[in-house]
Amino acid sequence: MFYPESYTIACQLFYRLLGFIYFFAFGAFLFQIRGLIGENGILPLKDHLNFLRKFPLRKRLHYAPTLFWFNSSNTALMSLTTLGVLSSILLMLGWYPSIQLILLYFLYLSIVGGGQDFLAFGWEGFLLEITIHAYFMSLTIVPCYLIWASANCLLFRFHFQAGAVKLLSKDPAWTNLTAIAHHYQSQPLPNTIAWYAHKLPMWFQKGSVLGMFFAEMIAPFGIFWGDFARLTTCAILVLLQYGIWLTGNFSFLNHLTAVFCIILINNAVLSNVWEIPVESVEPSLYLVILVNIIGGALLLLQFLRLWNAFFPEIVLEKFFHRIAPLHLANRYGIFAVMTTQRYEIVIEGSLDGEHWEEYLFRYKPSEISRRPRRISPYQPRIDWQAWFLPFTEYEAEPWFKNFLVHLLKGTPDVLALLRKNPFPSAPPRYIRSVIYDYTFTSYEERKRNGSWWNRTLIGEYSPAMYLREKHL
């Protein structure tokens, strides 16, 4: 049944596997954080916090709930990230899970709170919201009922809202069931299998959309039924995540969601591979009462957030805005409106203003002959951020302006985020960005010239730039 005493093995596995997610979440920053928000990064955290210091303390913590208020140097960034990696390993090993979970929550909240544009993805909040539930669940061997109920409601709400936002958007690509036919090509970072999936017949693409809506909006109701229904729901939701992972690169989101689904598998199934944990000491009555009170509050937040998704109210919007920095009840749902074309921003540098050389990102589409890679659960933040550029004007993207300036300066920490710097000896005199329309090649084109992409130049995205001091 739904009762937590039947799922104690699942909870122990869930905590450990959450450590696996954090290992990749923090581990990725070891190679990126200095170039993104370091002292010589694209959006230096120190500058951001100095700007916020003019506001009252309450507002400062609202806009940047981070431990980096004490120290935002490169050493502090790398130290906190390394501590996160070490804590995630201890959590995987099952060493004092409650301590590791609350530590990881505050460490990751600090990176999210200071990450600015580069940490604004939905899975950051999902990970934090799951972690705060996991922490209170871990305080007793058998999770207290209300925190257990809230965790299950979160799993339901995450999937149900993901399907609902697509229908509420009234995007014709979803209503006519063609969205996935576009998605394989237009998603942020396609992989090789996406190239093949894009060529499947339309009946399959439309059937995939129907299957997705079933998995997101109907199957999750099985979470609140008996053991068999929960196990079946787990299989459906994990299969959905596997399909998304198979054809895309969505950071650690698919892995995280699959790990969360483990709470649907009862002891009767898992006892064949894992020993049922026994509580050696009866939990304190005061602890049980406190956790149930907190669980009840989180459960109420789940209901309010779900209600507000369908019946938005100003009062609730203001309330959720107030508590948003803690990520206790996030809004969920991505790709509400499906992008049907793929535009890519290509950055070029020049020594003379006549001959231009391309900078190459590590994973986003660039050369037409380069095979799309599989990289999840690793997330290259700069590649992801660049995917959003074509949807806005150049003037509206301060991070991109800073990025181009760093390329003109030849800043090592920023250049390390790229796969190829065409000016290894000295930075270019001029830099610009242009926009291309990318499409997958056909089987015939792939066989003929080995290309995975076709691309057509659309025009200029940002004008040619140079640093004034270079002309002095």
Tens digit of each residue's pLDDT, the chain (472 residues) = 578 999 999 999 999 999 999 999 999 999 999 999 999 999 999 999 999 999 999 999 999 999 999 999 999 999 999 999 999 999 999 999 999 999 999 999 999 999 999 999 999 999 999 999 999 999 999 999 999 999 999 999 999 999 999 999 999 999 999 999 999 999 999 999 999 999 999 999 999 999 999 999 999 999 999 999 999 999 999 999 999 999 999 999 999 999 999 999 999 999 988 887 777 678 889 999 999 999 999 999 999 999 999 999 999 999 999 999 999 999 998 888 899 999 999 999 999 988 999 999 999 999 999 999 999 999 999 999 999 999 999 989 999 999 999 999 999 999 999 999 999 999 999 999 999 999 999 999 999 999 999 999 999 999 999 998 644 3
Range of the domain at 353: 343-466
Are residues 318 and 393 part of one domain?
no
The single-letter code of the amino acid at 428 is P
354, 346, 339, 433: which is closest to 395 by C-alpha?
A: 433
Question: Residue 309 in contact with residue 164, Cβ under 8 Å?
Answer: yes
The Cα–Cα gap between 435 and 82 comes to: 37
Q: How far is CA 98 from CA 18, 412, 432, in A?
A: 12, 39, 50
Domain assignment present for 313: yes
The Cα–Cα gap between 466 and 463 comes to: 10
Are residues 308 and 349 part of one domain?
no
Are residues 390 and 312 part of one domain?
no
Report whether the peptide linkage leading into residue 422 is cis, meaning its omega lies within 30 degrees of zero: no
Structural domain count, the chain: 2
Domain assignment present for 334: no
Domain assignment present for 249: yes
Are residues 277 and 362 part of one domain?
no
Helices (H), ranges, 30-73: 33-37, 45-52, 57-63
Domain assignment present for 224: yes
Question: Residue 11 in contact with residue 260, Cβ under 8 Å?
Answer: no
Are residues 432 and 380 part of one domain?
yes
Are residues 176 and 207 part of one domain?
yes
Q: Would you state the pLDDT for residue 32? A: 97
Are residues 291 and 235 part of one domain?
yes
| Ramachandran class of 170: left when φ > 0, alpha when ψ lies in -120 to 50, beta otherwise | left
Are residues 304 and 384 part of one domain?
no
| pTM exceeding the 0.75 threshold for the entire prediction | yes
| 292, 326, 360 - which closes a domain | 326
Domain assignment present for 90: yes
Are residues 351 and 259 part of one domain?
no
225, 202, 189: which is closest to 365 by C-alpha?
A: 189
Domain assignment present for 62: yes
| Ramachandran class of 456: left when φ > 0, alpha when ψ lies in -120 to 50, beta otherwise | beta
Are residues 133 and 251 part of one domain?
yes
Domain assignment present for 175: yes
Are residues 322 and 374 part of one domain?
no
The Cα–Cα gap between 262 and 157 comes to: 16
Q: Would you state the pLDDT for residue 274? A: 81
Q: Would you state the pLDDT for residue 1? A: 58
Domain assignment present for 333: no
Are residues 262 and 382 part of one domain?
no
| 326, 356, 391 - which closes a domain | 326
String of DSSP letters for 374-391: P-TT---HHHHHHHTGGG
The Cα–Cα gap between 18 and 259 comes to: 7
